[in-house]
Amino acid sequence: MATFKCNFESKKFMKELERDIKKSVESDLKKHPEKILNDHVGETISATCSSCGNVKVVVLRGGGVRCPKCGHTAKVNLVPDWR
Ligand SMILES: [Zn+2]
């Protein structure tokens, strides 16, 4: 029996795996921001209202936000903060 050792760079695999996971999480968040946002309904978050420029908006059920100043509602673009 012969043993042939072939080298695999596990770091490279891990990096590719990590990139794939991040990609899939990011596209999932884009499609279903409500998955995260429904846990934060009623909370005030930092985002700029595109209508009046207010920098605080309130999270709504269903993946949107509402500006408490002018009542403008918008969809949220979730950006994961990887650490
Ligand atoms: Zn506003």
Taking 50 as the pLDDT cut, the residues of the chain under it are: none
Residue 26 Cα to ligand 1 middle (Å): 27
Please give all residues whose CB falls under 5 A of ion ligand 1, grouped by chain where several chains appear.
49, 51-52, 54, 67, 69-70, 72
Beta-bridge partners for 73 = 66
Q: For the chain, which residues make up each domain, given as ranges?
A: 10-75
81 Cα distance to chain centroid: 7
Q: Name the phi and psi angles at 40, rounded to 5.
A: -125, 20
Residue 52 Cα to ligand 1 middle (Å): 4
Residue 66 Cα to ligand 1 middle (Å): 8
What pLDDT, on a 0 to 100 scale, did the predictor assign at position 1? 82
Tell which residue, 57, 34, 60, has the closest CA to residue 44: 57
What mean pLDDT, rounded, does the chain reach?
A: 92
Residue 25 Cα to ligand 1 middle (Å): 29
The radius of gyration of the chain from alpha carbons, rounded to an integer in Å, stands at 20
In tens, the pLDDT along 35-57 reads 889 999 999 999 899 999 999 99
What pLDDT, on a 0 to 100 scale, did the predictor assign at position 6? 87
